Amino acid sequence: MIKVVVIGSGNVAQHLISAFQKESSIQLVQAFARNINNLSRLLDASKITSDFSELKEADLYIIAVSDDALTSVSKSLVFKNKLVAHTSGSIAMEGLSDTNKKAVFYPLQTLSKNKEVNFKEVPLCIEAQNEADLKLLREVANSISDKVFEIDSEQRKSLHVAAVFVSNFVNHLYKLGNDICEEHHVSFEILKPLILETAKKAQVLLPDDAQTGPAIRKDSTTINKHLAILTDQNQKEIYKILTKSIIDHGKKL
Amino acid sequence: MIKVVVIGSGNVAQHLISAFQKESSIQLVQAFARNINNLSRLLDASKITSDFSELKEADLYIIAVSDDALTSVSKSLVFKNKLVAHTSGSIAMEGLSDTNKKAVFYPLQTLSKNKEVNFKEVPLCIEAQNEADLKLLREVANSISDKVFEIDSEQRKSLHVAAVFVSNFVNHLYKLGNDICEEHHVSFEILKPLILETAKKAQVLLPDDAQTGPAIRKDSTTINKHLAILTDQNQKEIYKILTKSIIDHGKKL
């Protein structure tokens, strides 16, 4: 049985703790939280510490804290030559302290406290310094997820940027759609099936092959009608730049 | 039993024909296609005509053709005072010829030939000139969809703009994400669960409450790292404008 310690008490840490607790092949030895109360919903108090010097022996320590805190937390670890992984999409593996063996255990999913997620479906991107460490990491990752990918720090950084486009920016477009509906007293409910179907299409078709709408048809009549309806300058500007991008870079039909 | 004729043979027409054929309360009397072969997969040849003068008697004629062809097709109808609906998101009901009673029967979904869709989940936006016509339209719409909305032409136009944001533009962001992955030799597969989860979140949370990522956190360190990774000027510009929009218009955390 592989012994794991999770360091952190935020979103990612909590989802990892829950996922590990469901797996018999993993022994979640302990979790670290500056504020023990953050994890008391998930773990018995005896399994939580807020003192780095009390961290127990384990095969893998996963630091799931904010990017800002990562370096200082990794330097606070008092032991040496243990396998220590971080969970960040944008920090290189080398960002961890040199006193321990470095690794990355990056769950690429939007995890929120108010929404359950099936961790088996969460892609885990792993990286380590040598094959032995990678083997252990792979075993831990495979135990909680069906989608494990081995990618290096450079690839992970570009993946993180791509994730901002397909998730953070996409959600902002949902927000702008919602704003337009509210301004014109139309229910956003009408758009929800379209939102889901557009995402489902991307599971089976290449985005280039799924593109529809006035921009890809170069339908300037409709485009101009739309621009006339939009009164908000920010919405107008985003409409223009994305329409231009589709016309210039979309696959010619 | 309500008698319906579908005029057109494209995507929307074909999905409507399939949906009506499944419903016992609707009699699909006939379909019109300039090229009969377009519909031969769906209908017996005796039920297809390419001659406007041969259109049979029905309670409702649905014109499902491109926006450009809509006016001329509605003027080609030889009968008078019948109920005629179009399926366009961006044309006002008044765009139909005055010789018949006007209506709108607008399915708000991304319909493609290469992907099946459960029509019961497709929102149908309906509009008519009087309550009697609306009643019939409502009955037809309810027979094939569980999501029927009565909205007027002005609302429908703004809804169509909002749909461009949450579907056409969103799909373009998927494409840019895919491009970034290809440029850096990372599999786009890793992003697919994130794409789906982001859309699922929008079904239950307001987009403002679901926003995550460096922009809403005003995390300029990560934002600058991302801009350094992007080499394509178009990607950079879109990253900047959407990040600015999230910072300026996102709900303060």
**Least CB–CB distance from B168: residue in A125, A213, A221:** A213
Which chain A positions have a beta carbon within 8 Å of B66's beta carbon? none
Question: How high is the pLDDT of residue A116?
Answer: 76
Q: How confident is the model at residue B117 (pLDDT cuts 50, 70, 90)?
A: confident
Which chain A positions have a beta carbon within 8 Å of B195's beta carbon? 166-167, 170, 199, 202-203
In angstroms, the separation between the Cα of residue A57 and the nearest Cα of chain B is 32
Residue range B181-189: average pLDDT?
A: 96
Indicate yes or no: CB of B250 within 8 angstroms of CB of A169: no
Measured between alpha carbons, how far is B33 from A194 in angstroms, rounded to an integer?
27
Indicate yes or no: CB of A194 within 8 angstroms of CB of B151: no
Which chain A positions have a beta carbon within 8 Å of B171's beta carbon? 198, 201-202, 207, 210-212
Question: How high is the pLDDT of residue B76?
Answer: 96
In angstroms, the separation between the Cα of residue B5 and the nearest Cα of chain A is 26
Rounded to two decimals, the pTM is 0.89
Parts of chain A with a pLDDT under 70: 114, 252-253
In angstroms, the separation between the Cα of residue B146 and the nearest Cα of chain A is 12
In angstroms, the separation between the Cα of residue B216 and the nearest Cα of chain A is 9
What single-letter amino acid sits at A248? Answer: D
Question: pLDDT digit string (tens) for B73-92?
Answer: 999 999 999 999 999 998 99
Question: pLDDT digit string (tens) for A121-153?
Answer: 999 999 999 999 999 999 999 999 999 999 999
Indicate yes or no: CB of B167 within 8 angstroms of CB of A214: no
Measured between alpha carbons, how far is B108 from A185 in angstroms, rounded to an integer?
17
In angstroms, the separation between the Cα of residue B193 and the nearest Cα of chain A is 7
- Between the alpha carbon of residue B40 and those of residues A24, A115, B9, B36, the distances in Å are 57, 47, 10, 6
Q: Minimal Cα distance from A148: which residue of B? A: B190
**Least CB–CB distance from A192: residue in B114, B169, B202:** B202
Asked whether residue B112 carries a pLDDT value surpassing 80, the answer given is no
Indicate yes or no: CB of A186 within 8 angstroms of CB of B110: no
HSE (side-chain half, CA atoms, 13 Å) at A10: 12
Q: How confident is the model at residue B251 (pLDDT cuts 50, 70, 90)?
A: confident
Asked whether residue B253 carries a pLDDT value surpassing 60, the answer given is no
Question: How high is the pLDDT of residue A114?
Answer: 65
Instruction: Dump the DSSP string for B159-208.
Output: HHHHHIIIIIIHHHHHHHHHHHHHHTT--GGGGHHHHHHHHHHHHHS-HH
ipTM of predicted complex: 0.89
Whole-number percent of chain A with pLDDT over 70: 98
**Least CB–CB distance from B245: residue in A125, A202, A234:** A234
Question: How high is the pLDDT of residue A252?
Answer: 64
Q: E strand or H helix at A63, and its extent?
A: strand A60-63
Question: Which CATH superfamily does the domain covering B2-151 fall into?
Answer: NAD(P)-binding Rossmann-like Domain (3.40.50.720)
Indicate yes or no: CB of A165 within 8 angstroms of CB of B151: no
Q: Could you say which of 3.30.70.20, 3.30.70.420, 3.60.15.10, 1.10.1040.20 is the CATH number of the domain covering B156-249?
A: 1.10.1040.20
**CA dihedral sign, ordered B192, B194, B195, B199:** positive
Question: pLDDT digit string (tens) for B11-66?
Answer: 899 999 999 999 999 999 999 999 999 999 999 999 999 999 999 999 999 999 99
Q: Give me the helix-helix angle, A170-183 and B170-183, nearest 10°.
A: 170
Smallest CA-to-CA distance from A230 within A184, A197, A175, A170 is with A184
Asked whether residue B4 carries a pLDDT value surpassing 70, the answer given is yes
Smallest CA-to-CA distance from B244 within A225, A243, A241 is with A241
Asked whether residue B222 carries a pLDDT value surpassing 70, the answer given is yes
Asked whether residue B139 carries a pLDDT value surpassing 90, the answer given is yes
Q: Where are the domains of chain A?
A: 2-151, 156-249
Which chain B positions have a beta carbon within 8 Å of A245's beta carbon? 172, 176, 234, 238
Indicate yes or no: CB of A168 within 8 angstroms of CB of B246: yes
Residue A6 corresponds to which tokens in the numbers above? Answer: 């999770």
In angstroms, the separation between the Cα of residue A55 and the nearest Cα of chain B is 30
